Each structure stands twice: as C-alpha cells, then as structure tokens.
Structure 1
Amino acid sequence: MREVTVGTADLAAYQQVLGPERSATLRSGAGRLAALLAGRTVWNVNSTAAGGGVAELLHSLVPLARALGVPVRWLVIDGDAEFFAITKRLCTLVYGSPGDGGPTGEAEREHYRKVTEANAADLAGFVRPGDVVIVHEAQPAGLVPAAARLGAKVVYRSHTGCDTPNEHTARGWAFIRPYVEQADATVFLIPPHVQPWAPAPQVVAPSIDPCLPKNVALSQDEAVEVLRAVGALAGGAADGGPVTVSPGGGPSIELRRPVIAVREGDPPPADAPMVVQVSRWDRLKDMAGVLRSFVAADVPGSYLTLAGSDVTGVSDDPEAEEMFVECRREWERLPTELRARIQLLCLPMADPRENALVVNALQQHATVVVQKSVAEGFGLTATEAMWKSRPLLANAVGGLRTQVVPDESGLLLDPTRPDGAAGGIARVLADPALADRLGAGARRRVHENYLPDRHLLQWGDLIETLVKEDDPDASAR
C-alpha cells in the first residue's frame, strides 16, 4: 500500500466556473467540515492512482478538498495479477455481466483474503482512531472491517451497479457483502443500484472537474493542434518533435508521446466529421458495437475514432488487452475503404496530464460522441463530452439515463441492439442545428448537476453525520 501524493487546487479557477454564490456556499460548507474534523483525517482507499473513473475522481476531489482546508488523503492498495483478475471479475459481475466466466469460489476468496490482510497491515500505519475511511469499489472492499477495527468510521463507495439485478449481480455482491455490510454507511451512484442490505445507504452522483486539463476549454484550433501533435489527426509536425500547449491559459503541457494507432493509411483530416467514443477497453463499454454502428450508419466522408488507455498502462484491468485485440480483429475484417475511416487509438498513460489533454481534444473535436455501454455505473466520459457541448448518444443504462434528458441533452439508445447507435449517428451528422441544440443542453445539464461543488458538499454532509455519531460533542468545538 502506498500514499498518492497530491497538491492543492487553485480555488480562483473554480470560482470562475462556479460563480461567486456557489463558491461561497462551497467554502462555507468545507470550513464547517474542517472545524468538525478537528485533527481527524479522511482517507480514500482504491486500487490504482491512474486509469479509470475512481482515480480520476480522486485526482479532482482530493486536491480541491485540501485547498478548502479539509484534511483528505489517498491510499492505493497493492495486489498481484491473480488478485486483480478476481476483482475485475467481481466488478463485472456487479454490473450484471458474466465477464470472463471465471470462478468466485473458496480458492478465490482465500487469495482475496491474503492480499487484503497484507494491505490491512499497511493500513494500520496510516489510519488513527476517529479518522474516516472511504473504501472505493470491490478491490479494497475487504479493508472495511480492518479500518473499523482501527477505530475509524468507514464508508463503502460503490462505483458499479446494475439496473436490473440478476444471477451475476447476486454472485458478485455475495463475494464482497460480508465486508461491505460492516461499513458505517454505503454510497451508490443512482437509486436502482442501492442494495437492500446495505448499511445506511446514500445516493451521491459523481462529478467532473472543469479546471483540470481534461475539461478546461480548448478552442477548435487548440484541439486540432493537440491531436496533430500526437498523431490522431493528419498534418502533424514533419520533424515529429514535442509540442507545448497551455490549456485554458494554465500551466503548459508538453506532448511528447504519440498515440498507438491502428488504422489504414494516414490519420483522418481535421475537417472531416468525427464520431468518437473514449472508454476503457472493456467488454461493457462495447467499443466493437460502436464500430458496427458506425458502419451501419454509412455516412459518406465521416470518420470514427475509438480511443482507450494504453492496454499496458492500467494495472487493475487485466482484460484491457484482450478487449483491444477483439476490437482490432473486428476492424481487420472490414473492407479497406472502411478501415481507412476508422482508427483505434491507445492513449499513453505515462504522463496523466498529457493523457488528459489528449482526451479533452478528442472530445472537443468530435462532431458527435457515443457512449454505448451495455452496463454503466455513471459514465463520466459522457459527462465530460457533455461539458464540452458535444451532442451525446448514450445507451439507456445506469447513470447515463440520469444524465441524458432525451432530445434535450442527448439521445438515448436501445442497449439491446448491437448497432443501436447507427440511427443516431446518421441523424446528428445530417443535422448541425440538432447537434448544436443537444450540445448546448448537455453543457447546461452538467453545469447545473455534475460539478464538484455539489459533490463535495454531499460528501461533507455524510462525513459530518458520521463524525457526530462517533463524537456528539464534536459540533460544539
């Protein structure tokens, strides 16, 4: 186990986005919480410092909370390949999917226990009585009892779920339930994901950070410059040297690492209509289904970009390479003229800020963004695209149904259709006025509901309740 080093956020940048009234409310709530904690620490525990939605949320919320005076820190657990294969299986099962079909029997439980015990020993070196420990997802779920034994108040935060429980969700939850039900509270993304046995369940939607490189405003010229620099669009520098960009006028980011691209011929031209999905290489994100939808839409002159993390760069997702290979094989079966209009990109993970800027540029440059998940916790890649005023086509699953108001902030798709995005792709590409209207509605919905001030204040309310339960006199100090 190790601690992730994070700095503090620039509060002035958030005030520019939130405005004075929301900024004052955030400062007031954070100040009250900081006084209430009085020497306690709020610990977040998850499985990786880079890659995936949990790590991204923590890279946003922890520095902001610290800038507001709230004592928040972040720990990442250790585990071997077998452990992460088991926990990937558990997360997929909780989504309602059979995943790799592997076992979750006594041998898997014993290995999970051994890895958890090793991390629990490390946890004792950080956590003190009275602290608050937030355990994120199945990987560190086994640490809930250990944190409680150390005298902490413990919250289990679920980032996955299934709208309609089935035998797969039952098997996944059965594995981690003995740990999770020992928490003082549980937090879920949307109401349908709440488990009936969960202790003190709360619903807290996640958020995106408008001030990080992934979401700061880029002009169209800046987005094109970034994508050309990494080889995602045609027209990059002939010498292939690094390009430096200062997104949103903030600190400069040097683009030194090209994308790993699978495509036929040259990169797409910058002036071509572009359909984009940015997701993990994961069977639940259905990248191959987006490819099939694009082919079925058959819009002349348009291009498709499927982009995910470098398959060697996400330590807790052992299926990523397998899913990327499956998608590449489907691409290879297409006629040459179609392969020339579809690119699969693996985005380097060595520099998180560089990776985030490339994702930002891909979403900003997109004519239409697709999120064709067959199961979804919330879908922050969709939220990010909405913030950039992009028209969004999303399967009607999980938190995507919460975010998308049909025909107002996007279009909802039938998740049972393998090429279900085809009609929406064709419709939006053919109607620029519709694209503009959906994009404006998407931006507005994110501004009103999915920025970090609301997110932190909800967490503050929950932590305040737990601390007062533990120490009724805390509010008087």
Structure 2
Amino acid sequence: MREVDLPPVRLEPYKEAFGPARSAELASVAERVGKRLAGRVVWQLNSTAAGGGVAELLYGLGPLAGALGVGTRWLVIDGDAEFFAITKRLCLRLYGIQGDSGALGPAELAHFRAVTEANAVELARRVRPGDVVVVHDPQPAGLVRVAWECGASVVWRCHIGSDRPNQHTVEGWAFLRHFLEPEDRMVFSTPRHVPGWAERPTVIPPSIDPCAPRNTDLTDTTATTVLGAVGILANGGPLPVTVPVPVGEPVTVRRPVTAVREGDPPSARVPMVVQVSRWDRLKDMGGVLRAFGEAGVEGAYLTLAGPDVGGAVADDPEAAALFEECRQQWRELPDGLRRRSQLLCLPMTDLRENALVVNALQRHATVVVQKSLAEGFGLTATEAMWKRRPLVASAVGGLRDQLDDDRHGLLLTDPKDIPAAAAAIRRLLTDPALAARLGAGARERVAERFLPDRHLTQWAQLIEDALKDTPGPAAGEPGPRQRRSGTKEH
C-alpha cells in the first residue's frame, strides 16, 4: 500500500468556474465539515493512481477538498497479477458480462482475502478512530471491515454496475457480499446500479475538474500545436511544448504518442471523430471502428485513443490483449477506411502531460463518441460535453443521467446497434447546426450538474451524517461490526 501525493491548489480558479454564489455555499459547507472532523482525516482508498475514472476523480477532488480545509489523503492498495485478474473478472461480472471464463470460487476468494490481509496491516497503521475512510470499488472492498475495526466511519463507493441484473451480476455480488454488510454505507453513481439488498444506498454522480489540465480551456491554436507535436496531427512542430494551466505548474508535453495508422497523420482541417477510453471490452472500440466505416462520410477521420498498454494501468491486466484485438480489427478494415483511422497509445509517464493531450484531442474533435456497452459514469463523455463537443453515447448506466437525447447529445438505445451508431455519427458530421446546438446544450448541462462544488457538497452531507453515527471501536475492542458479523458465514 502506498500514499499518493495530493498537491496543493489555489481556490481562485475554482471560484471563477463556480461563480460567487456557488463558491460561497461550498466554502460554508466545507467549514462546517472541517469543524465536525476536528482534525481527523478523510481517507480515499482505491486500486490505482494512473488511468481510469476513479484516479481522475481523486486527483481533482482531493486537492480541492484540502484547499477548502477538509483534510484528505489517498491510499492505493498493492496486489499481484492474480489478484488483479480476479478483480477484473469481478468488475466485468458486476457490469453484467462474463469476461474471461475464470471462476470466482473458493480459490479466488482465498487469494482475494490473502491480498486484503497484506494491505490491512498498513491500513491499520494509518487510520485512526474518528477518521472517515472511503473505499472505492471491488478491489479494496475487503478493507471495509478493517477500517471499521480501526474506529473509522466507512463508506464503500461503487463506480460500476449493470442496468439489467443477470447471472453474471448475481455471481459478482455474491463474491463481494463476503466483505460488505447490507447496512454498510454505500454510494453509487446511478440508482440503476443499487443492488436490492443494500439498505443504506446514496446516489452521488461524479464530476469533472474544470481547472485541471484535462479540462482547462485551450485555444484552437494551442490544441492543434500540442496534437501536432505529439504526432496526432500532421505538420507538427517540435517537442517539448509548454502550456500554462490555472492550477499547478505549467504542463510540459515531452513525449510523442504511439500511433497505429497508415501514412501520415491527418491534417488539422480534416473532420475528426474521437473516442478516448481504456482499452477495455466494455468500451467497444471495435464497434466504433465498424460504426465509423458504416457512417460513410468521405474525408472524415477516426481516432481511438487509450492509455499506453506498455505502461501501466496496474489494475487492468486485459488492456494489452484488448489493444491487440483492436489493432487486428483495424488491420482487417478496407484499405480506404484503414487510411482514415488511427489507434493511439497515450504515454502515462506524466499524468498531467497525458491529461493535457486528452484535453487537446477532445477539443479538436468534430464529434466525440462514447459507445460503451456498460458504464458507471462516463467521465470522458462529461469532459467532452464541457468542451462543447457534440456527443454520441450509449444509453447505459450513468450516461443515461448525463445527457438527454437531442438536447445534449445523441443517445444510442442499443449500444450494440452498429447501424444506429453509424447514423448518429453521420448526422453530426453532416449537420453543423445540430452539432453546435448539442454542444452548447452539453456545456450548460455540465455547468449545472457535474462540477465539483455539487459533488463535494453531496459528499460533505454524507460525511456529516456518517460522523453522527456511533464511531467504530478503538483498536482491540469488539465493535458493532464484529458483533454483527461474528456468527455470519463468509
């Protein structure tokens, strides 16, 4: 287990983004929670500090909470390859798909427990009675009990789920319920993902950080300069490129992307369809390739971008194999279509650099696609909406809450319907007035609902409520969870 540094941030850029009234309300809420905590810590606990939506959220919310006077720290668990293979399988089952053919049986449960116990020693060394511990997703779920027994108030935060429970979700929840009690405090991104047995669920949709390198305003010139320098667009200048940002030091982009394509990069004048995602079967990159081909818009170009599979998303062991699968699908495209599409692996060595490149790519896009087969909350969709990009998204999970069809983007009723996806892409590429209207509506939607002031206010209310409960036991004393669970078969 290791701690991730959360750098200090200035509040002024956020006050500008939120406006005076919302900024004052957030400051008041934070002051009240800070007094209630009385110097105690809010711990965030997850499985990776690089790649994926949870890490993106914590890099934004943690420093902002600290600047508002709410002490926040972030821990990342350790695990071996077998552990992360098990948890990837578990996550996919909770999304309602089988994933690999592996089991979630006694052997997997025993290994999950062993890794949990190894992390528990370090967690118990850090957490103190009266702290608040937020445990994110299935990977560290075994530590809910440990944090409680340290005397902390504990919340399990689930970012994933399925709109339609099936045999796979039943299997996934059965595995997880060895570590969760129905009366545990649980937070979900959408009410559609709350399991029927959860007695104390709260729904808190995520947010994006408007001042972070991934979302800060960039001029068209800056975006094309960055994309040209890293090799995404043609006629690029040299690296490095340094860009000032409102929070933190200027971001220096030093590393080119790894691109799979035929010929030179596209011109900045070419209309571009973009999807930015993990290399994950649920993001259906291959389906986007097929939909773009069926859209049949001559002169348009497709870019599929994800993390560098050589580097790094520690809790995603399938990424390299799925990138290779997507590359094979790209190789099998007709020649003309293959020359109008590229696959990009974005360096993960410097996360702020990676974020700025993603920002530039989303801002340059003519159309952004998020054709997920299942989704907790589509952060990349909300990022694109903030940048006024017209969006084609699947009507699944949190995406159904993020946008209304034909007001903030175009929703695909069936995410596997390739002709419908192709028609939506074609419609936005060929109707600039519609694209502009949806982009403007999308920006307003995010400003109203998906910025950090709303997000932190909801969390503050939950933390205040949790702190009213009888605190967990001091070290070595039997507490409520031990008494509840002592006779339960796990």
Map of 2:357 onto structure 1: 358
Map of 2:424 onto structure 1: 424
Map of 1:307 onto structure 2: 305
Q: Compute the displacement of 1:418 (Å).
A: 3.6
1:368 has 2:367 as partner: yes
1:409 has 2:396 as partner: no
| Contact 2:9-2:248 within 8 A present in 1 as well | no
Find the aligned partners of 1:250 and 1:179 in 2 and give their Cα distance.
39
Shifted more, 372-381 versus 193-202: the winner is 193-202
Find the aligned partners of 2:390 and 2:181 in 1 and give their Cα distance.
40
Whichever residue aligns with residue 266 of structure 1, its letter is D
Map of 2:267 onto structure 1: 269
Q: Compute the displacement of 1:248 (Å).
A: 5.7
Whichever residue aligns with residue 178 of structure 1, its letter is H
SS at match of 2:179: helix
Q: TM-score, normalised by structure 1?
A: 0.97
Distance 1:412 1:121, change over 3 A: same
SS at match of 1:74: strand
Q: Compute the displacement of 1:249 (Å).
A: 9.2
| Contact 2:210-2:216 within 8 A present in 1 as well | yes
| Contact 1:218-1:248 within 8 A present in 2 as well | no
Q: Compute the displacement of 1:183 (Å).
A: 6.5
1:384 has 2:380 as partner: no
Whichever residue aligns with residue 318 of structure 1, its letter is P
SS at match of 2:88: helix
SS at match of 2:302: strand
Find the aligned partners of 2:288 and 2:334 in 1 and give their Cα distance.
17
Distance 1:286 1:419, change over 3 A: farther
Whichever residue aligns with residue 194 of structure 1, its letter is V
Map of 1:103 onto structure 2: 103
SS at match of 1:305: strand
| Contact 2:182-2:197 within 8 A present in 1 as well | no
Find the aligned partners of 1:335 and 1:203 in 2 and give their Cα distance.
45
| Contact 1:96-1:165 within 8 A present in 2 as well | yes
Distance 1:100 1:207, change over 3 A: same
Map of 1:475 onto structure 2: none
Whichever residue aligns with residue 252 of structure 2, its letter is E
Find the aligned partners of 1:395 and 1:328 in 2 and give their Cα distance.
23
Map of 1:397 onto structure 2: 396
Deviations 1:360-390 (A, max 9, x none): 0110000000000000001110000000000
Find the aligned partners of 1:134 and 1:337 in 2 and give their Cα distance.
50
Find the aligned partners of 1:125 and 1:338 in 2 and give their Cα distance.
56
Find the aligned partners of 1:271 and 1:151 in 2 and give their Cα distance.
59
Map of 1:278 onto structure 2: 276
What's the RMSD between the two structures over aligned residues? 1.2
Deviations 1:297-352 (A, max 9, x none): 01000000000001132111001011111110011011222111100000000000
| Gap runs ≥5 in structure 1 | 472-477
| Contact 1:131-1:153 within 8 A present in 2 as well | yes
The alignment of Structure 1 onto Structure 2 pairs a total of residues equal to 469
Q: Compute the displacement of 1:247 (Å).
A: 4.1
Find the aligned partners of 1:245 and 1:103 in 2 and give their Cα distance.
47
| Contact 1:144-1:183 within 8 A present in 2 as well | no
SS at match of 1:61: helix
| Contact 1:213-1:356 within 8 A present in 2 as well | yes
Q: Compute the displacement of 1:199 (Å).
A: 3.8
Q: Compute the displacement of 1:20 (Å).
A: 0.3
| Contact 1:44-1:73 within 8 A present in 2 as well | yes
SS at match of 2:420: coil
Alignment of 1:316-327 (within 5 A): 316-327=315-326
Find the aligned partners of 1:416 and 1:347 in 2 and give their Cα distance.
26
Find the aligned partners of 1:94 and 1:241 in 2 and give their Cα distance.
42
Q: TM-score, normalised by structure 2?
A: 0.94
Find the aligned partners of 1:408 and 1:38 in 2 and give their Cα distance.
44
Shifted more, 348-357 versus 191-200: the winner is 191-200
Identity, % of aligned positions: 64
Distance 1:201 1:250, change over 3 A: closer
Distance 1:15 1:355, change over 3 A: same
Map of 2:76 onto structure 1: 76
Q: Compute the displacement of 1:252 (Å).
A: 1.9
Map of 2:333 onto structure 1: 334
Find the aligned partners of 2:189 and 2:353 in 1 and give their Cα distance.
28
Whichever residue aligns with residue 270 of structure 1, its letter is A
Map of 2:223 onto structure 1: 223
Find the aligned partners of 2:154 and 2:183 in 1 and give their Cα distance.
5
Find the aligned partners of 1:439 and 1:195 in 2 and give their Cα distance.
34
1:235 has 2:235 as partner: yes
Q: Compute the displacement of 1:129 (Å).
A: 1.0
1:438 has 2:438 as partner: yes
Distance 1:131 1:334, change over 3 A: same
SS at match of 2:304: strand
Find the aligned partners of 1:379 and 1:392 in 2 and give their Cα distance.
12
| Gap runs ≥5 in structure 2 | 472-490
